[in-house]
Amino acid sequence: MTSPQANSYFSLIRNQFGLLAIGFIALFTGNLGQSFFIGLFQSDIAHSLNLSAGEFGAVYSALTMASGFLVLHFGQKLDWIAPRRYALLVLTALLAGVILLTTSPWLIPALIGLGLVRLCGQGLMTHFGSTLAGREFTINRGRALGLVSLGMPMGEIILAPVIALLIGWLSWQQIWWAVAAVIFLIWLVLLLLAKWPEAPEIKRDSSGKKIKGPNPMLEKRFWLIIPLTMALPVTLTGIFIFQAQMTLDLNATTTAYALGLTAMGIARFPGALLGGRWIDELGVSLLARLYLAPFAFAIILAVLVGGNAGVLILMIGAGISLGMSSPVVDSLLVVLWGREHLGRVRSVKSAFMVFSTGLAPAVLGFLIDGGVQFEAILLGMLIFMFAGWLLAQAPIREAEKINHHSLKQD
């Protein structure tokens, strides 16, 4: 599925358009289960289910944690199930979730629908697109992961204004149906016309039993690298949830934060494209050491400068690092655990991300209730990132040795 030598982005798109489109649309589809999308309809959904804001928040957190456990189970199956079949199963479950959420007059089926949307959107669709790109590309893996990862910010940029236009003359259920119908038609074209890769070969031992592959949670290097991979989503979750407190403490306006969100989305594009290219040309080990640097410097400047400028700097730095994070982390996992086990390893990483982002608001909420200023919280985030960076140095050096060994063999 990969070309024999490194390509520019344009030639890569021309040669592997179908495979890249599958991964890109998978991440774009994952936006249906993201908090920003569901949050646009939070009050309508809560009212429809006769839940208070607090009750909806508690249920949403519980469903998010449950989806993290289920990703552990279903995510690893991508290592042996044919990608086309896997995508069809996840898409079917996602659409079933949308139908249950928007049509059921009863609470339990509607909550099952919301859970399916979270699991299949934020969880399995995103996992599928990134795993497919990381596994099927070798020489151009960084560029492929960079391109595919743009499906997420593209969805954020497109869906929010489209929904703002539709919300005046369509009900929230009709908007969900319209978005789901468009996504279904795109997937129908891909399922029928795209060239899909074959199912991964199932490895068996001498007795014919299927070899399950490694369990990363039993390996020291996984626990050393997981804080680095979690640092960005955990800190950004805290910023998103408590943006009102952040703007107040930094003496900024909500308008500046809104502009910062847009700037962050735009900054993800050069972050992803440059990061993907540099991974292919300079190696993932170097980028793994550097990809958090833009966000780290932005935190320092935001604390020193403050005000609207500080918030804008913070969000732009976050966007650059966020754009690089997916190609860097997924490439690093491939180097350390191998292409054939990426589904299993990445599902564990994804589950940890869900758990950690679920716990982050609670921790920051207690700090804010205790009177801690957001400048101090931002500096605490910086210390957390630096600690994660230090812990990850041993696995990063291991990845560097693996890359050097493979280059010598070539």
Of 41, 199, 22, 194, the C-alpha closest to 117 is 41
Of the two residues 388 and 361, the one the predictor is more confident about is 388
Does residue 410 have a pLDDT over 60? no
Q: What is the mean pLDDT of residues 265-278?
A: 91
DSSP state string for 322-370: HHHHHHHHHHHHHHHH-GGGHHHHHHHHHHHHHHHHHHHHHHHHHHHHT
Summarised one tens digit per residue, pLDDT across range 308-334 is: 999 999 999 999 999 999 899 999 999
Summarised one tens digit per residue, pLDDT across range 35-88 is: 778 877 888 888 888 888 778 878 888 888 888 889 888 988 888 899 999 999
Summarised one tens digit per residue, pLDDT across range 246-271 is: 888 999 988 888 888 888 889 999 99
pLDDT for the residue 387: 95
Does residue 347 have a pLDDT over 80? yes
Of the two residues 163 and 318, the one the predictor is more confident about is 318
| Amino acid symbol at 16 | Q
Does residue 372 have a pLDDT over 50? yes
CA distances from 2 to 133, 141, 159 (A): 10, 9, 32
Summarised one tens digit per residue, pLDDT across range 126-135 is: 999 999 998 9
- Residue 137 CA to residue 2 CA, distance in Å, equals 5
pLDDT for the residue 287: 93
Q: What is the mean pLDDT of residues 210-238?
A: 85
Does residue 214 have a pLDDT over 80? no
Alpha helices in 201-341 (DSSP H): 220-241, 243-249, 254-282, 284-290, 293-305, 307-337
Q: List for the chain the helix, strand, coil content (%; round to 5).
A: 85, 0, 15
Q: What percent of the chain has pLDDT over 70?
A: 93
pLDDT for the residue 63: 87
User: Tokens representing 149?
Assistant: 């990862």
In contact, 3 and 140? CB cutoff 8 Å? yes
Phi and psi at 15, nearest 5°, equal -80, -30
Question: Phi-psi category of 132—alpha, beta or left, where left has phi over 0 and alpha has psi -120 to 50?
Answer: alpha
Of the two residues 57 and 166, the one the predictor is more confident about is 166
Mean pLDDT, the chain, rounded, equals 87
Does residue 107 have a pLDDT over 80? yes
| Amino acid symbol at 73 | H
- Residue 306 CA to residue 304 CA, distance in Å, equals 6
Query: Tokens 């199912």 map to which residue?
Result: 199
In contact, 29 and 160? CB cutoff 8 Å? no
Q: What is the mean pLDDT of residues 177-205?
A: 87
pLDDT for the residue 210: 62
Task: Grade residue 273 by pLDDT with cuts at 50, 70 and 90.
Answer: very high
Of the two residues 8 and 86, the one the predictor is more confident about is 86
pLDDT for the residue 183: 95
Does residue 206 have a pLDDT over 60? no
pLDDT for the residue 293: 96
pLDDT for the residue 3: 41
Q: What is the mean pLDDT of residues 10-22?
A: 90
pLDDT for the residue 6: 56
Q: What is the mean pLDDT of residues 200-216?
A: 65
Task: Grade residue 196 by pLDDT with cuts at 50, 70 and 90.
Answer: very high
CA distances from 277 to 43, 71, 145, 218, 388 (A): 42, 29, 10, 32, 24
pLDDT for the residue 190: 95
Q: What is the mean pLDDT of residues 97-104?
A: 94
pLDDT for the residue 1: 45
Of 231, 201, 407, the C-alpha closest to 329 is 231
What do you get for the CA distance between the two ends of the chain, in Å?
A: 19
Domains and CATH numbers, the chain: 9-193 (1.20.1250.20), 216-409 (1.20.1250.20)
- Residue 67 CA to residue 75 CA, distance in Å, equals 11
- Which residues are registered as beta bridge partners of 210? 204
Does residue 402 have a pLDDT over 90? no
